[in-house]
Structure formats: structure tokens, C-alpha cells
Chains A and B, each alone.
Chain A
Amino acid sequence: MEQQAEIIQVKDLRKSYGDFKAVDGVSFSVSAGEVFGILGPNGAGKTTTVEILEGMRKPDGGTVMVNGIDVQKDPRAVKKVIGIQLQSSAFFDRLSLAEILDVMASLYYREVDALELLREVELADRAGALFKELSGGQKQRFSVASTLVNDPILLFLDEPTTGLDPQARRHMWALVQRFKSEGRTVLLTTHYMEEAEELCDRVAIMDHGKIVAMDRPTALVDSLLSKGFKKERVEKLANLEDVFLDLTGRALRDGQAPQDT
């Protein structure tokens, strides 16, 4: 993990909407191969930050370099090597999942094995289905598959597990871990702390448009404990989610449900 090329370099990023400072002087860098998490409550500026990094939004100030390219100067060059999962994705009506992936790939002048990509997110049996026919978890997985069409070196996942049931969430975690093992860099946002603990090599915690802490999750916990912090209730070795998964199993449950959450 040490001394790797920095694939993302962010310096003093600023973005305001009227008087509201959504991003207020954010700086950080992400190493190649790292899973980096941006945490924070709703409205903390996570999504705005990520969208500027992706070249989807223009900052008021500051610079972002992705893979050595200035995002503001050449957003298209950046978009060619990254994969972006938006918080809520939508795709063409009246095209099957496989057809959508073919079109998405063509936008990168590429040809993909759509079925293989769908197999990776366990949607191979829905290749002929329409996006609107999918359940919430399936939609999220397809959305992830759609970001893989250009074999990106860097993946942006904006709240990839929000609204998913525990089984679907675990499945998404496994996907992220696989991306890491394939050597891809992942930048994700979440407001589930246990998700960050499970997946992220490093996290930045944002609040009111600023980064208030940034380190490895265990280091952040240790520094809190060193300040003499004690939980009111001592944590047991299992929690309710473990009970839930023990009772309902870990297999994905999206075959029948047309819509969850």
C-alpha cells in the first residue's frame, strides 16, 4: 500500500450554491489500488465533491488531477479511464440490459461481452430484461456493471448500498473487494460506518463541506479510544444484522421482488 502513485490529487476544492458552501476547501489524495471512502451525513458535500472529481460538475476553485489529467481541462480524457456509478442511475427504455451494455461500451469505442459482465453481477439470467423491470438491488448491480464496460482503472461509487437489504449489501461489498483484488482503485461514498470499516483502506469524514478527519478506519477508532472514549453499552460479539443474516441466509433475494424500498 505504501508509496504508490497517487491516482487522485485534490487541492483546495471549493463549490458554492448561492450562499451555501457545499465544498469548502477540500484536499486529499488517493493511491492507486486503494479503496477510499468519503463518509458524512446527508448534505455534507460528499456527492458534490465526487461529481467534481468525475468531471460532472465544475468547481468554483481548486484543482483535481485524476491519473495525471486535470479534470477541468480535459474531462473527456478522464471519463475514458474511470467508471461512474451515479446515486440514481437511469438507462434507455425499451433496450434490454445486454443491449444497453453494448451501447455504453460503444461510447468508449469498445466491444464487450455483455453476458459476461452481467454474470459478474449475477444478472446473466436477466440479460433480455428491461431496466425498469429490475428490483432495487438488481438495478444497483446493473448500474455497477454499466460502469465496467470500459474496464476502468478507477471506479466512483456514490452510495452504492443505500436502500439495499442486508443480502444485497453484502453482495455489493464482495464486488468492491473483487475490484480491489483486480487492481482497480475505488472511491465510494457511504453513510454506513460498518460498510466503511469493512471495505475502505482509508476514509475521509466530511461535514459542512470540510474534511474533518482522514485516516485508516482502525487508526481513527484508536485515536478516539485514546481520548478516553467509552461506549455506554459494551458491544457484543454479534449484532442484529448478524442475527438477520443467520436467519435469512446470505443468498441474494431479488428474483421475485419487482421493487424494494
Chain B
Amino acid sequence: MSKILIVDDDPDFIDATRILLEHEGHQVKYVTGGKNGYETVKDIDPDLVILDVMMESILEGVSVSRKMHKNPDTSAIPIVMVSSIAQTDYAALFPTDEYIYIDAYLNKPVDPTMLVKKVRRILA
């Protein structure tokens, strides 16, 4: 059983992902919004983070992943980034000139089986 943290601002995405990951036997914690997200990552030291891109600000998730990468205590925690910004104008705002420190990226709506596969692969 792994400890997984969901950082997202949509309660239904959190709920659906929690149900799915608990079904897989994981311990799931969640937090709404990126500001609390990074603090919670430091506090609970999860085995994996499911991280939304667009929360209070447009690229808040990217900012959380940067902070996690810079901190030696959190830099090794794998991140699955999720977002619904693909095929919207926001996609153009996604940085293309820097490396984003994530282990997988999934478009919302996230296919449950796909998410389970990614999580299994990363935690293996």
C-alpha cells in the first residue's frame, strides 16, 4: 500500500480519483489548491502526487512541481500531472522552454484504467 496525495481544486476529480486509488489498495490524502499542496507534500511525504495544472492560478501545478524539484526532501517524489488545458488556449501558456519535473502526464477526463496503469508502473 502506498500513500498518494491528490492536489486538485475540483472536489469531484478528487473524489473519483480517491475512489479509484483506494480500490487499488492505496492510502489516499487530498488537498485543494496548489498553495496548500506543496506544504502538504512536505508534511506527509507521499509516495506519489497526482497534481492538477490549473488551480487558483493558471500554471499553479507547474509551480508546485518546480518547488518540489528544488527541495531535496521532495525532489524524488514522483508526480503524475493531470489537466484539462489540452486543446484549449491555455495549452499555449504551458512552458515549452524548460523541463517540467513530472513522471507522467494525463489529460482530463482521466481514464481510470490508464491512471491505474501509470500509478502501478511508477510505484513498481
Q: Do A and B come from one complex?
A: no
Binding site for B on A (CB under 8 A): none
Binding site for A on B (CB under 8 A): none
